[in-house]
Structure 1
Amino acid sequence: MTSLDKAESGSATGVASFARSATATEFIETIKLAMPIALTQLGQIAMMTTDLALIGRLGDTAVAAASLAHTVFFVAFVIGMGLVSAVAPLAAQALGARQPRIVRRALRVGLWAALLLCVPMMMLPLFGEQILILLGQAPENARLAQRYLLGLAPGMAPALCFMAIRNFMGAVNRPEPGLWITLAAIPANAVLGYALIHGHWGMPKLELLGAGVATTTVNFGMCAAALWFTYSQRPFKKFHVLGRFWRFDWPLMRQLVVIGAPIALSFLLEYGLFSGAGLLMGLISTSALAAHQIALQIAAILFMVPFGIGMAATVRVGQAFGRGDTAAIRRAGAVATILGIVFMTTMTLAVIVVRFDLARLFFGDTHQGMAAVELAATLMLVGATFFIADGIQTVAAGALRGLSDTRIPLLLAAISYWAIGFTASYGLAFWTDLGAIGVWIGLSIGTGIYAILLVLRFHALTQRLRLAA
């Protein structure tokens, strides 16, 4: 071998070694970023579960009313959540481009958006009783749901502000304070909720209204704690996030809306699909609806980890995009996707193994509940591909947000979820003998197609960036 051959061989080995090192570093950094975010999301689920457990002591009617109230509340909340989600790519891209003033401005417009949106968005919960009656719900359930909504509605603004701050914290690679605040909020919410629902320790007995007031109070506390962290603690305070807060930033606000509005609509399409699937289950039978809700709750818990990975992908891709590093963009997207696939595949296999035990946790071993247990376990088995595809789509969507690409994914969501997924669910449920199982097959088909299209979209965009470099 000549000296030139040796040099070329050494160079190739060095490049391969660097690529392996960079990929290993990307795995580590993505996991470090994703885990606190995912645990924070699980903490939010824990707070909701605590609320339902406390409300459950008031009886089945109260639980049904709380479920209806959450449906109305989250339709409004998802819109704001989508808009403030745009804080993460804007701040991450600015950090990668070494523009700290833009990082601060990204959070500032996110907070302004939360404050401006909360007033019109509160109208939906405040008229929840009339909306639910128009949708055919029982007047008593609608009345009780309205009491819960009256307590929840004022907490929308601090909840959205907390979410904007969390996105900012993640964008600057320090999501841990959001987790600490959430962990402290879980017992605080439980204690305050118990006191206000049942009238203990000198508190008034407000029942469902008390549950909403407790959640709102805790949301204000979480928002205040997050603002304190960003204002006074490193590394956040160097960005002076509250500096000139009174100045309205129209140029960056427009960017926030351009990126965030399609995210909000995509969330609504996804949320609407599962709500629509629930309505189809209700047309089939009560046990089908109950089994569907349990299987979907399991899916929601599993979804929190890939959702965290997807938010980490937004940050890692956004920072690389801000630096103009195409190789790092592709690497960040690929690593996040692999992590999502590995986690969801592992957890899906675990769910399949213990699916009957999981169903019994909710329905027990009574003869009346056995049919629902069997169906819920079957839906979890049928939904194996859905669980994995759902994890992939949320990671791929997060990676695309890092590139500020949200409009085409919105179109893909409309096609995949509704033109294909809902149509397939309806057809398989009512034009064949599959019934409830057909609904979940349709969900799997729609979600799987969406995941594939998003991965292909990310590959096409990064390929375009590589050729343009």
Structure 2
Amino acid sequence: MRATFALAWPLVVAQVAQNAINTTDVIMMGWLGPEALAAGTLASTFIMPFLVGGIGLVGAVAPLTAQARGARDIKAVRRFVRQGFWIGILTALVLVPLILQVRTIMGWLGQDPALAARAEEYTQIAAWMLFPGFAIVVLRSLLSTFDAARVILLVTLVGVAVNALGNYLLMFGNWGFPRLELRGAAIATILTNLAMFAALLSFVLTHRRLRRFHILMRFWKPDWQKFHQIFALGLPIGFTVLAEVSLFTAAALLMGRLGTDEVAAHAIALQCASLAFMVPLGVGMATTVRVGIAYGRNDRAGIGYAGWSGMTLGTGFMIVSCLAFLTLAPFIVRVFLDPTKPENLNALALAATFLIVAGIFQLADGVQVVAAHALRGISDAKVPMIVAIVGYWLVGLPVAYVLGLVVGWRGVGIWIGLACGLAFVAAILLARFAWRERLGLVKIVI
């Protein structure tokens, strides 16, 4: 428990800080006006599935380097990191041209042409952020594996400040810089990611424990065996993450059919749930590493200790957030909307109701994310991917649609559907980790 907590807490805070970078962008786009905020939000929403899918793919470096550490195979660590960079570059080369077609794709989706044109201003530049962004994921995986998560936290906090300063200078033309508005925000995003990548890479290349891996040695040399291992594990992880993200995107679209107040209330409740989710997500990342190390050294008992301690920590926090949402929902939502304005009262009431439902599914959300990460530590990703697709798209979304739009429970029905999808996935992944031995998931590695 102590080892998991020591590795997890910097990752948790780093995830919150990463979220703060996005929040800073939203706030400062709002200073440009509602049209700029809408266009920037549309652009960010468009980029997000490409980004999280690629992060899931490249994120396979974490369990594989952890397994290599457990097996004390220094050469394999270098090979996995090097090929992780390769996959990150190739993935960005595939995704960036797709992102650059944002105006055409938005036209197909029936979005306002003027809004799509402004969104294109942002995405034409921000799309290139994928190159340093995926490389950062590779370095974070290496640093987490070797207990250097505090460096990730420090660099991410610096990234928050760099991004805010870049926005201030380039979006609004302060201190003699040109006023570039949304283009300025995109440039600041790229500069922030480049700065974070440079800082992490410098640390890895100079730190006495990490420089021995020589991660850039013969960088140009292909290693198709490790490339295939990363790709085979990372592809289902990417689709798993996409399945969950797309469920919440679909829920937002369903809310859009109910009215403005429902959409606003949904956004408030989702922001609160997302913030709470950062804790089990960080714990899950730590659990992947600790399970992977135990798996690499063929420590069957250690796999269990690492997995169950991670789930205990993640679920323990979600019990606290569950109680907070159930008892303090009316007070929490007032942070987002002024309760003294009559036009906000309906949205506030809806948000408080949604947050109560979110409180109920906090436990399921915590279990599913940590269980999924524990299974990744033993290189089990294909079946969890199928479970996620079935749970989110064949259970969660249909229940949300039926209860919300057919039965007439409206927003509450949609959130109950989200809860059902998460509970389905949590139950199966928890059982799969518990039965890992009888299912033959624990094998001798490396």
Q: Give the TM-score category using the shorter length.
A: over 0.9
- Structure 2 Cα separation of the partners of residues 286 and 170 of structure 1: 42
Deviation at 1:84, TM superposition (A): 1.0
- Structure 2 residue corresponding to 1:115, chosen from 81, 84, 89: 89
Q: Specify the structure having the higher radius of gyration (Cα).
A: 1
Q: In the alignment, residue 307 of structure 2 is paired with which amino acid? A: G
Where in structure 2 are there 5+ consecutive unaligned residues? none
- Structure 1 Cα separation of the partners of residues 57 and 118 of structure 2: 30
Map Cα deviations across residues 376-433 of structure 1 (whole Å, 9 max, x no partner): 0100001222222111111000000000000000110111111111010001012212
Contact 1:326/1:466 (8 A) holds in 2: no
Q: TM-score, normalised by structure 1?
A: 0.92
- Structure 1 residue corresponding to 2:325, chosen from 318, 336, 351: 351
SS at match of 1:201: helix
1:265 pairs with 2:239: yes
In structure 2, what is the equivalent of residue 370 of structure 1? 345
Contact 1:318/1:402 (8 A) holds in 2: yes
In structure 2, what is the equivalent of residue 390 of structure 1? 365
Count of matched residue positions in the alignment of Structure 1 and Structure 2:
443
Map Cα deviations across residues 2-35 of structure 1 (whole Å, 9 max, x no partner): xxxxxxxxxxxxxxxxxxxxxxxxx000001111
Contact 1:196/1:203 (8 A) holds in 2: yes
In structure 2, what is the equivalent of residue 99 of structure 1? 73
In structure 2, what is the equivalent of residue 19 of structure 1? none
SS at match of 1:243: coil
1:318 pairs with 2:300: no
Contact 1:165/1:227 (8 A) holds in 2: yes
1:151 pairs with 2:162: no
Tell me which stretches of 4 or more aligned residues in structure 1 moved more than 3 Å. Answer: 462-469
Deviation at 1:354, TM superposition (A): 2.6
Map Cα deviations across residues 422-454 of structure 1 (whole Å, 9 max, x no partner): 010001012212111000001001101100100
1:4-15 correspondence to structure 2 within 5 Å: none
- Structure 2 Cα separation of the partners of residues 185 and 382 of structure 1: 34
Contact 2:295/2:442 (8 A) holds in 1: no
- Structure 2 residue corresponding to 1:77, chosen from 37, 41, 51: 51
1:451-466 correspondence to structure 2 within 5 Å: 451-464=426-439
- Structure 1 residue corresponding to 2:315, chosen from 341, 358, 366: 341
Contact 1:151/1:211 (8 A) holds in 2: no
- Structure 2 Cα separation of the partners of residues 467 and 228 of structure 1: 36
Deviation at 1:348, TM superposition (A): 2.0
Contact 2:358/2:419 (8 A) holds in 1: yes
- Structure 2 residue corresponding to 1:280, chosen from 214, 230, 254: 254
- Structure 2 residue corresponding to 1:402, chosen from 351, 354, 377: 377
- Structure 2 Cα separation of the partners of residues 177 and 468 of structure 1: 32
1:160 pairs with 2:111: no
- Cα distance 1:466–1:107, how it changes in 2: closer, same or farther (>3 A)? closer
Q: In the alignment, residue 189 of structure 1 is paired with which amino acid? A: N
Contact 1:196/1:204 (8 A) holds in 2: yes
Map Cα deviations across residues 223-266 of structure 1 (whole Å, 9 max, x no partner): 11111011111321121111111111110000001000000011
Deviation at 1:465, TM superposition (A): 5.7
Contact 1:79/1:264 (8 A) holds in 2: yes
In structure 2, what is the equivalent of residue 424 of structure 1? 399
Deviation at 1:464, TM superposition (A): 4.8
Contact 1:73/1:124 (8 A) holds in 2: no
- Structure 2 residue corresponding to 1:307, chosen from 272, 281, 298: 281
RMSD of aligned C-alpha atoms?
1.4
Contact 2:135/2:197 (8 A) holds in 1: yes
- Structure 1 residue corresponding to 2:25, chosen from 51, 54, 70: 51
In structure 1, what is the equivalent of residue 109 of structure 2? 135
Contact 2:378/2:441 (8 A) holds in 1: no
- Structure 2 Cα separation of the partners of residues 115 and 468 of structure 1: 31
Map Cα deviations across residues 322-380 of structure 1 (whole Å, 9 max, x no partner): 11111111111111111111001102212333322222222212111111100001000
Q: In the alignment, residue 385 of structure 2 is paired with which amino acid? A: L
1:233 pairs with 2:207: yes
Contact 1:72/1:124 (8 A) holds in 2: no
Deviation at 1:467, TM superposition (A): 9.7
Contact 1:125/1:146 (8 A) holds in 2: no
Contact 1:385/1:448 (8 A) holds in 2: no
In structure 2, what is the equivalent of residue 13 of structure 1? none
Contact 2:380/2:441 (8 A) holds in 1: no
In structure 2, what is the equivalent of residue 23 of structure 1? none
In structure 1, what is the equivalent of residue 196 of structure 2? 222
Deviation at 1:289, TM superposition (A): 1.1
- Structure 2 Cα separation of the partners of residues 302 and 236 of structure 1: 32
- Cα distance 1:467–1:282, how it changes in 2: closer, same or farther (>3 A)? closer
- Cα distance 1:468–1:77, how it changes in 2: closer, same or farther (>3 A)? closer
Where in structure 1 are there 5+ consecutive unaligned residues? 1-26
- Cα distance 1:124–1:72, how it changes in 2: closer, same or farther (>3 A)? farther
- Structure 2 Cα separation of the partners of residues 467 and 206 of structure 1: 54
Deviation at 1:300, TM superposition (A): 1.0
- Structure 1 Cα separation of the partners of residues 310 and 435 of structure 2: 17
Q: In the alignment, residue 440 of structure 1 is paired with which amino acid? A: W
